[in-house]
Chains A and B, each alone.
Chain A
Amino acid sequence: MSMVGDILKRARDIVTAYRPEPEIEEIGEVLEVQDGVARVRGLRKAVIGETLLFGSRKAVRGQVLGLERESLQCILFGDYTTIHAGDQVFRTRTILEVPAGEELLSRVVNPLGEPLDDRGPITCRGKRPVFFPAPQVIDRVPVQRPLFSGIKIIDAMIPLGKGQRELIIGDRRTGKTTIALDTIINQRGKGVICIYVAIGQRLANITQVVEILRKFQALEYTTIVATSSEDPPALVYLAPYAGCAMGEYFMYRGEDVLIVYDDLTKHAVAYRSLSLLLRRPPGRESYPGDIFYIHSSLLERGAQLAESRGGGSMTALPIVETQEGDIASYIPTNIISITDGQIYLETGLFNKGFLPAINIGLSVSRVGGEAQTSIMKKVARRLRLDLAQYFELEEFARFGADLDELTRRQLEHGKRVLALMTQTSFAPLPLSIEIMEVFAATQGFLDPVPLERVKEWERAFVTHLREEHATLLERLEKERDLTHDLEEEMRRVLANFNERFLQEAV
């Protein structure tokens, strides 16, 4: 086989061309190692953030996090149980870098870029520094292009835009990860590259996420950066920055990126452990003094770049887990003040079966009207009003007061609007169908439908739209404005459908 011949020839050439050279290296010595944190003597020229190699085989990587008078403080990535006091430490003279590029898509990697998914080694053409300054003011433009989550409530009332940072916050098991995954799944075919960073999650959860993304064919454009609760705190701490660096590779090439940090609460805890091991003075709730900076420097790296820098964007969806709904505690308030809005999930709503369990009153998207298409904006305006009125009346009605006809009708209308706004998980909807549903709800087309048939109505309506009104759907996706003519057609379609639907026997 000429292939083998090729290999041998190349090897022979290398051997012939080789010139022996002595190696001169600065060498340090491990003074102590504990829980993934090492103190190193020597290497005085090493700088903060530099990558160091540990052990005579240079097998374990670490990073300088602090300089003491006579030693360096380092965190170790990888299997630090092989490193002992007295081991040699070498400089690399490079700041920590991580491989980046298209080769990472559809793969599951650790924060060092090493594959975790049994699909062979990864050789990336590019690499990016893990820590990198956020884009300057002059390189940014305001968020002006929409990013659709495929979830009706969000796209109607809490719209997302490319380059925005929107926090997903709530107690455990309220559907936070599901919303993020839905958004990722909805990016299929839209040219957005997705990165999901699992920060100290349970291995079972991570596997589930991979399976879900694979099942909905989202894996092809997604990279998963995974650290589990079993990984050393240094690796968990590194995960979001590594993911961000991988995203920046694409952003600075003019592409659009969506990155999910699941979740920053666990990240804060890992960083707290590290800081305590590094003997840094603990502050509020024992978190180190720079815990805010740790997160702000991460989140500020997401932005919409100006044309002069390629016009790419990175949208961030950080997730924070609260205890007992307390969004006023330390870490949640920190991150709320950094992000451009939050989606607040409530256990109460979740238990009542209202999914996604988003509390619309406490959720907000501070991105301004630019991120919503004008048709949706118009159609959604009434939605907010209707729901607000409904919530007010609901309180009132709960006290068993006798209601006049008008109020009762408003109540029934509101119930139907609310019912239509619920959505099953992993079923993101295209913009056109979302617009039709919101329009139908707010314009009262659901009022004649009995409450328990609303979901059935929705299923039938969506099928009907897809089968018979593809052109209308296309118009809703493409057109700039809600013209009178377009609105009339929407009404017609709805009226006709309702007639047919209501006639069918229950």
Chain B
Amino acid sequence: MIRIDRSIIFQIINFLALVFLLFRFLFKPVVKALDERSNRIRGEFEKIEEEKKTLEEERRRLEEELKNLKEKYLEMLDQANREAQKIKEAIIQEAYREAEKIKREYERRAKREIEQLLLELKEDIVDIAEEVAKRILKVHITPEVQTRIIEEMLEEAVSRLEAQLGGTYEG
């Protein structure tokens, strides 16, 4: 049997006071602390989510830039190639022209040398012919031939002079 006496009432009051106090000074803060903690954790999660998002954006941006750079790089490579090609062509052209020039110069020189040689040859031959002619003539000019030469050539000379001077020549 539960004896109902005054101590029960005090015990009940005690108990209720305890519960109240517990509630007020223990539960509430604890619950608050738990709430705060849960909030905090949620906040952290949100932050992480945001950061994840920013990082994602950043990543996308960098990827985009990387793509651009790659494009640009390819373009520059292309252009450099084209320039190199142009330069190569120019060098080849120049080399051709030089070679042509040199070839023509040599051709010219060769031609000149041949002409020179032919000229010398001709002069030599003519000199020899003259010598031969002189030798032969020396032998063959008899007094009769000499007289004839004088007569004929002088006749022509004098006729010409007569025509020119038409008479007396004043000395």
Mark A residues whose CB is within 8 Å of B: 3-4, 7, 11, 20-22, 24, 120
Given contacts A7-B122, A11-B126, contact A22 B116 (CB under 8 A): no
Please give me the residue from chain A that is nearest to B156 by CB atom: A22
Could you tell me the distance in whole angstroms from the C-beta of B5 to the nearest C-beta in chain A?
Answer: 104
Residues from chain B with Cβ under 8 Å of A22 in the complex: 153-154, 156-157, 160
Could you tell me the distance in whole angstroms from the C-beta of B30 to the nearest C-beta in chain A?
Answer: 70
* A21, B152: Cα distance in complex, Å: 10
Interface string of B150-171 (1 = CB under 8 A from A): 0001101100110000000000
Chain A binding surface, main DSSP class: mixed
Could you tell me the distance in whole angstroms from the C-beta of A456 to the nearest C-beta in chain B?
Answer: 27
Residues from chain A with Cβ under 8 Å of B126 in the complex: 11
Could you tell me the distance in whole angstroms from the C-beta of B149 to the nearest C-beta in chain A?
Answer: 9
Residues from chain A with Cβ under 8 Å of B122 in the complex: 7, 11
* A3, B122: Cα distance in complex, Å: 11
Pairs across A and B, CB under 8 Å, 6 listed = A4-B118, A4-B121, A11-B122, A22-B153, A22-B156, A24-B160
Could you tell me the distance in whole angstroms from the C-beta of A395 to the nearest C-beta in chain B?
Answer: 53
Residues from chain A with Cβ under 8 Å of B157 in the complex: 22, 24
Could you tell me the distance in whole angstroms from the C-beta of A413 to the nearest C-beta in chain B?
Answer: 41
Interface string of B118-145 (1 = CB under 8 A from A): 1001100010000000000000000000
Residues from chain B with Cβ under 8 Å of A11 in the complex: 122, 126
Please give me the residue from chain B that is nearest to A21 by CB atom: B156
Contact of A20 among B121, B153, B160 (CB under 8 A): B153
Contact A24 B161 (CB under 8 A): yes
Supply 8 further A-B pairs (C-beta < 8 A) apart from A11-B126, A24-B161, A120-B112.
A4-B118, A4-B121, A20-B153, A21-B156, A22-B153, A22-B156, A22-B157, A24-B160
Please give me the residue from chain A that is nearest to B155 by CB atom: A22
Instruction: Give the B interface residue count (CB, 8 A).
Output: 12
Mark B residues whose CB is within 8 Å of A: 112, 116, 118, 121-122, 126, 153-154, 156-157, 160-161
Contact B118 A3 (CB under 8 A): yes
* A253, B122: Cα distance in complex, Å: 37
Could you tell me the distance in whole angstroms from the C-beta of A451 to the nearest C-beta in chain B?
Answer: 38
* A419, B153: Cα distance in complex, Å: 81
Contact B156 A120 (CB under 8 A): no
Please give me the residue from chain A that is nearest to B153 by CB atom: A22
Please give me the residue from chain B that is nearest to A7 by CB atom: B122
* A21, B160: Cα distance in complex, Å: 11
* A480, B122: Cα distance in complex, Å: 61
* A78, B153: Cα distance in complex, Å: 35
* A24, B162: Cα distance in complex, Å: 12
Contact A120 B118 (CB under 8 A): no
Could you tell me the distance in whole angstroms from the C-beta of A26 to the nearest C-beta in chain B?
Answer: 11
* A499, B89: Cα distance in complex, Å: 35
* A11, B125: Cα distance in complex, Å: 11
Residues from chain A with Cβ under 8 Å of B112 in the complex: 120
* A11, B130: Cα distance in complex, Å: 13
Could you tell me the distance in whole angstroms from the C-beta of B121 to the nearest C-beta in chain A?
Answer: 8
Please give me the residue from chain B that is nearest to A3 by CB atom: B118
Contact A120 B116 (CB under 8 A): yes
* A120, B116: Cα distance in complex, Å: 9
Could you tell me the distance in whole angstroms from the C-beta of A12 to the nearest C-beta in chain B?
Answer: 11
Contact B118 A7 (CB under 8 A): yes
* A22, B160: Cα distance in complex, Å: 10
Could you tell me the distance in whole angstroms from the C-beta of B94 to the nearest C-beta in chain A?
Answer: 15
Residues from chain B with Cβ under 8 Å of A3 in the complex: 118
Residues from chain A with Cβ under 8 Å of B161 in the complex: 24
* A24, B169: Cα distance in complex, Å: 14
Could you tell me the distance in whole angstroms from the C-beta of A83 to the nearest C-beta in chain B?
Answer: 26
* A20, B154: Cα distance in complex, Å: 12
* A21, B157: Cα distance in complex, Å: 8
* A4, B115: Cα distance in complex, Å: 11
* A126, B84: Cα distance in complex, Å: 51
* A4, B126: Cα distance in complex, Å: 13
Residues from chain B with Cβ under 8 Å of A20 in the complex: 153
Please give me the residue from chain B that is nearest to A120 by CB atom: B112
* A7, B121: Cα distance in complex, Å: 10
Please give me the residue from chain B that is nearest to A8 by CB atom: B125
Residues from chain B with Cβ under 8 Å of A120 in the complex: 112, 116
Could you tell me the distance in whole angstroms from the C-beta of B42 to the nearest C-beta in chain A?
Answer: 55
* A20, B155: Cα distance in complex, Å: 13
* A22, B157: Cα distance in complex, Å: 6
Please give me the residue from chain A that is nearest to B157 by CB atom: A22
Could you tell me the distance in whole angstroms from the C-beta of A63 to the nearest C-beta in chain B?
Answer: 25
* A22, B118: Cα distance in complex, Å: 31
Residues from chain A with Cβ under 8 Å of B156 in the complex: 21-22
